[in-house]
Chain A
Amino acid sequence: MEIALIGNPNTGKTSLFNNLTGSYAYVGNWSGVTVEKKVGVFKNNIGQLIDLPGVYTLNPLSKDEGVVTSYFLNEAVDRLLNILDASQLERNLHLTLQLLEFEKPALIGLNMIDVANKRGIQIDASKLSKILGVPVVPVVARNGKGCDKLVDVIATKSIQPANKNLVCYGQAVESAIAAITGEMTAKTNHSTRFLAIQYIEGNEYVRNYVNHIADQQKLTSILEELESQLLNQYDTKSLANFIYTKRKEVIEKIVAEVARKGDATIPLSEKIDSIVTNRYLGLPIFLLLMYFMFMLTFDWLGTPLSDALDGLLTGPVTSGIESALGAIHASAFIHALILEGLVAGVGGVLVFVPQIFILFFFISLLEDSGYMARVALVMDRIMESVGLNGKAFIPMIIGFGCNVPGIMAARTIETPRERLLTVLLTPLMSCSARLPVYALFVGAFFAGHKAFIVLSLYVLGIVMVLILAKIFSSTVLKSETSLFVIELPPYRLPQFQSLWRSTWDKGKGFVRKAGTFIFAGSVIIWLLSYAGPGGLEVDMDDSFLAAIGNVIAPIFAPIGFGTWQAAASLITGFLAKEAIISTMNIIYFVPNDASLQALLADFYTPLSAYSFMVFILLYIPCLATVATIYKETNSKKWTAFSMIYAFVIAYVLALIIYQGGRLIGLV
């Protein structure tokens, strides 16, 4: 049995999905968190549950909404589980009415009962169920209240909707519906009434579908006739508006019957809002928060933790492994492979786990509290001036964690041009995999101003986004249309448990990658550094790795780091940015106590170190990101463009910094 979760954005569909399937999918307090269909299996194995992006109606505007409509049209769904936000019943019911027209077995989960109660709204679920003709189960998806009941109802009851045609659209529309359904009889498995109504409403996906199965010309003439008739007869702007009004009338009646409104307490939300979206304080507060986040990650908390972990790895762990290897009489080759390859390569990345988790914790906090949409609002003025809109800032903040989900999040941006621009520019956001590089280099060269230097890199990324957005939107991606309407959800106090889960879920990927990708990569890199044209166990400068690095190293000489070591790590960095660090750890392998940081001083100056960090920040997105860009843009041209422009910008900027710095006497 396949059950699809459908509902308005930010009503708690994914929270419920996680609860019912025991999985962890992406939850956040803004509209458009889920952008892809996701399949899970019910805990008690009664079937598959499918999580979908949130939609207001089945007539899509943006790409994530289109996912739902094409799911409806192209895939066989057994049951619909419609999630309603009890505190926003009227708006939510517009979708419910459309779903019921689809005439598939359906049931309703009435979510956010707690929020509704707090606002003084009481909803009579059994009355609602009687009116709509489908079961209605009150739930609180956040803490799982009512979920057992919901599963029981899903599993047992036959839930074919009892009441047909809840909305009567008036004589003119109804006869057009009859004419259109007549054209489609026996040509489709879907409800023809549903298709006809959506067709009249102007749903592009449905129009395409219907035009394939029925006579396009006849349908168009029916539609035109209806349109002229309605516009003459009634005071209405468009067919879609007329249908909306008809639904609204029905909804108002339903709500009047099932909902009671009592006294509400003034929501905390409004008080917070008067501060964080304050005219003048909004932007400074955001910057202050970012600064606080960096201090905590790189200075106050993260660095001491990472140092402690480093001490543990290079001290007890290494000597433990050493004595274990000694005990089993491992060969010198194995010995070197494990200690100089794996421990250096994988361990070098794992050391940064504390810092990465702190960063992810902050991002999760931003996501779950409801602040994210406010940031979009605060940033819109700046973004508008460079041809983007405030919503584009959400993918970019997510990109601070990892660029891949950031790029996916751009799906909620309605206009194709702004969406493409966001996809192209999100890779300039400094993701967590680049963080180890900064942490290593600031530790070695800028010990006094760690957080400040790192912050400067993040800000540089944002500034480059703004500049490039301006350039691209006035040259290659010219267009006037821009759309900015954003729903600002009420603040929700994040629960520690869900915060931890979402932090862990993001950080897990980093740890897993260290155990798999970086593990394998470290072995290969070590082998390349161990073997050379001259045989095995060569001096590293004569190894294959050095030979490869030397080919492209001269390119980097003008920007301050023309060594084969830097070149080799930049190549591996294309595969995954963390690989830069593991490669460096292997190349500059230092036995036990001497640290890599001390050794780096022989190869870099502070100026070339900064130039190196800037280059890492901007140069070619990693392989996974490139693949995602290709998937999202569906264009080889734009994918290539995203790689090339990034490389050029990185090089030019590093050149300006390095050569300019030398001119004014920096070293």
Chain B
Amino acid sequence: MFESLKMGDKGKIIDISRVGKLVQRRLLDLGITEGSEVCVKCVMPFGGPVMIESCGQCVGIRRKEAVQIEVVRL
């Protein structure tokens, strides 16, 4: 679960299928999918979005989507 990650932690995505279809598609466009290594850069307060980094590129997604992504800590 993404929740287990804190700022600065690195992880590897193992399952992304529970995320909304459109969001999944956009993340895929950005090269973020199963097998991608991600790093949590920043978490906005009050349940706001999170900023994750993958392959040198930062992407912002909503918290409720992020928690649906299954990751293992690296």
Question: CB within 8 Å of B: which residues of A?
Answer: 56-57, 61, 87-88, 90-91, 94, 119, 237, 241, 244, 270, 273-274, 277-280, 282, 373, 376-378, 380-381, 384, 390, 414-415, 481, 483-488, 490
CB pair B60 A483 closer than 8 Å? no
A378 to B45, CA, bound (A): 9
Question: CB within 8 Å of A: which residues of B?
Answer: 17, 20, 22-23, 25-31, 33, 41-49, 51, 55-62
CB pair A390 B49 closer than 8 Å? yes
- CB pairs A–B below 8 angstroms (6 shown): A88-B55, A280-B45, A390-B60, A484-B60, A485-B23, A487-B57
Give the 7 A-B CB pairs with smallest separation, nearest first: A56-B29, A381-B48, A488-B58, A485-B26, A91-B31, A377-B60, A486-B60
Name the one of A87, A277, A483 contacting B20, with C-beta atoms under 8 angstroms. A483
A87-B56, A380-B49 given; A483·B44 CB < 8 A:
no
- Which B residues are in CB contact (< 8 Å) with A94? 31
- Which A residues are in CB contact (< 8 Å) with B22? 61, 414-415, 481, 483
CB pair A90 B31 closer than 8 Å? yes
B12 to chain A, nearest CB (A): 16
CB pair A381 B44 closer than 8 Å? yes
CB pair A377 B51 closer than 8 Å? yes
A243 to chain B, nearest CB (A): 11
A109 to B37, CA, bound (A): 28
CB pair B17 A237 closer than 8 Å? yes
- Which B residues are in CB contact (< 8 Å) with A57? 29
- Which B residues are in CB contact (< 8 Å) with A61? 22, 25-26, 29
CB pair A381 B41 closer than 8 Å? no
Q: A376-B60, A381-B44, A484-B61 are in contact. List 19 more A-B contacts (CB 8 A).
A: A91-B29, A94-B31, A241-B28, A244-B28, A273-B42, A277-B41, A279-B42, A279-B45, A280-B45, A282-B44, A377-B44, A378-B44, A381-B47, A390-B49, A481-B22, A483-B26, A485-B30, A485-B59, A488-B51
In the complex formed, the residue of B with least CB distance to A56 is B29
- Which A residues are in CB contact (< 8 Å) with B44? 277, 279, 282, 377-378, 380-381
A488 to B62, CA, bound (A): 14
Which has the most chain A C-beta neighbours within 10 Å: B31, B33, B42, B60?
A: B60
- Which A residues are in CB contact (< 8 Å) with B31? 90-91, 94
In the complex formed, the residue of A with least CB distance to B45 is A279
CB pair A119 B55 closer than 8 Å? no
A449 to B30, CA, bound (A): 47
Which has the most chain B C-beta neighbours within 10 Å: A91, A94, A237, A280?
A: A91
A277 to B40, CA, bound (A): 13
A72 to B60, CA, bound (A): 30
- Which B residues are in CB contact (< 8 Å) with A390? 49, 60
A488 to B50, CA, bound (A): 12
A488 to B57, CA, bound (A): 7
- Which A residues are in CB contact (< 8 Å) with B26? 61, 414, 483, 485
In the complex formed, the residue of B with least CB distance to A487 is B59
In the complex formed, the residue of B with least CB distance to A373 is B60
- Which A residues are in CB contact (< 8 Å) with B46? 381
- Which A residues are in CB contact (< 8 Å) with B23? 483-485
CB pair B60 A485 closer than 8 Å? yes
In the complex formed, the residue of B with least CB distance to A274 is B42
CB pair B30 A91 closer than 8 Å? yes
B31 to chain A, nearest CB (A): 4
B49 to chain A, nearest CB (A): 5
- Which B residues are in CB contact (< 8 Å) with A88? 55-57
A353 to chain B, nearest CB (A): 37
Name the one of A237, A378, A485 contacting B61, with C-beta atoms under 8 angstroms. A485
A499 to B62, CA, bound (A): 32
- Which A residues are in CB contact (< 8 Å) with B49? 377, 380-381, 390, 484
- Which A residues are in CB contact (< 8 Å) with B20? 483
- Which B residues are in CB contact (< 8 Å) with A384? 62
In the complex formed, the residue of B with least CB distance to A269 is B58
- Which A residues are in CB contact (< 8 Å) with B62? 380, 384, 484
Which has the most chain B C-beta neighbours within 10 Å: A278, A381, A390?
A: A381
- Which B residues are in CB contact (< 8 Å) with A237? 17
In the complex formed, the residue of A with least CB distance to B52 is A488
B40 to chain A, nearest CB (A): 12
In the complex formed, the residue of B with least CB distance to A488 is B58
A237 to B18, CA, bound (A): 12
In the complex formed, the residue of A with least CB distance to B57 is A88
B69 to chain A, nearest CB (A): 12
In the complex formed, the residue of B with least CB distance to A92 is B31
- Which B residues are in CB contact (< 8 Å) with A378? 44, 48
- Which A residues are in CB contact (< 8 Å) with B33? 244
In the complex formed, the residue of B with least CB distance to A377 is B60
CB pair B45 A277 closer than 8 Å? no
